[in-house]
Amino acid sequence: MQETVHVIVPAGKTASDIARIRARGAAMFRRLSSCLNALAVAFSCLLPGQAKAADRLPALGADSSQVSVSGLSAGAFMAVQYAVAYSKSVIGAGIIAGGPYYCAAGNPLNIGVCMGQSMWGGPNPAFMAQFAHDFGESGAIDPLVNLQREKIYVFSGNDDMVVRQPAVDATVEFFRQLGVPAANLTYVNTVAAGHAFISPLQSTTNACSANASPYVSHCKVGNEPYDQAGALLAFIYEGIRPPAGSLTGSPTDSLTGSLITFDQTEFAGTFAAMSSEGIAYVPQYCSQNPGCRIHVVFHGCLQSAEQVRKNTTYDNWADQNRIVVVYPQVSGSSAPSGCWDWYGYTGADYAWKTGQQLQAVRAMVNRLTSRR
């Protein structure tokens, strides 16, 4: 398109002078237009809806009877909530530094007690069990009899200064009171660990006793690196195969599956305080065949899904055992301290099947179990 450039010409200039001035003006216009176009492209990357859209979580025909969950801290409280509220469709849970179901009873003033930080001691598991019974009878959560077949792995580090052991002791007692058999309940509480997922990946994690970001620590048990992801998955899914790759070198080198950054907005309501994106690891077998298992990993406060995924070995175990791993995440800005809701900031029904965050994650699981 021909540009018309209007240039103010001083009096006394010749025709050639005017031509040169016009040429310089046209060149300046073209340079300015080029710069403005470049700026427009740059700013378009920052505007909502202009960035590359995340993938859609795929329908894989996964096995709806082989769903399990795990999490740290607020993610552990969330794992408990999911395992209890949807007990009919969950076969196991890994609870790392988390208190019992409905511990805060919708009141933020109870947070200190639920974390074992109160001078009055830890939470009362009998109260929590009674709440669960009442909710089960009302239909707000699945019937509690389903818990008796779940496999429950619980972990509390001796040096955890965030969620102290009395709170986690109450979680174990809560499940006992609801009839989980001793053979289905394991409690690891003798490791000198801080507040963290425990990983064998020494190069990317904190010392064992750390209570600091990224809340993934390296510990040894019996002179061997403790692989917590493997321990809890092996307890939930008996007879699983060894993980893919070297767990001390580059653990992702031998993975054959696909990493998907998926759109969470189609699952979460406006006030669920969920991030726009979640992550899923799909083993190659599961991308081509139905019937795979599903494991959902809930991150902790001040922690992202990617920090958990890249610093632990969930994907390695999943790759060899036909497990699709889902890493949902809440928003670091709208969720308090980036925590999952275990005390009611999304609504009074946060611990029921109608809770916004629970429903969102349940919808993700339903998508994965849907036919291709």
> How confident is the model over 183-237, as pLDDT tens digits?
999 999 999 999 999 999 877 779 999 999 999 999 999 999 999 999 999 999 9
Average pLDDT (123-132) is 97
In a domain, 60, yes or no: no
pTM: 0.85
* Catalytic-labelled residue, pool 87, 156, 195, 217: 195
In a domain, 59, yes or no: no
Q: Residue 17's domain spans which residues?
A: 1-47
> Taking 70 as the threshold, does the pLDDT of residue 334 lie above it?
yes
Strand, helix or coil for residue 279: strand
Q: 39 with 90, same domain?
A: no
How confident is the model at residue 246, as a pLDDT?
67
DSSP code of residue 274: B
* Catalytic-labelled residue, pool 70, 73, 199, 209: 73
Q: Which H/E stretch holds residue 93?
A: strand 92-96
Q: Which H/E stretch holds residue 37?
A: helix 15-44
Count of domains forming the chain: 2
How confident is the model at residue 44, as a pLDDT?
34
Average pLDDT (21-47) is 37
How confident is the model at residue 135, as a pLDDT?
98
At 53, the pLDDT band (50, 70, 90 cuts) reads low
Q: 330 with 233, same domain?
A: yes
**Angle between helical axes of 74-85 and 356-369 (0-180°, round to 10):** 70
How confident is the model at residue 270, as a pLDDT?
86
Q: Is 160 a catalytic residue?
A: yes
Q: 16 with 98, same domain?
A: no
- Cβ atoms < 10 Å from Cβ of 223: 5
Per the CB < 8 A criterion, the answer to whether 155 and 96 are in contact is: yes
* Catalytic-labelled residue, pool 142, 160, 169, 319: 160
Q: 255 with 331, same domain?
A: yes
Q: 102 with 232, same domain?
A: yes
Q: Is 55 a catalytic residue?
A: no
The 10s digit of each residue's pLDDT in 100-113 is 999 999 999 999 99
At 172, the pLDDT band (50, 70, 90 cuts) reads very high
Question: Phi-psi bin for 234: left (phi > 0), alpha (psi -120 to 50), beta?
Answer: alpha
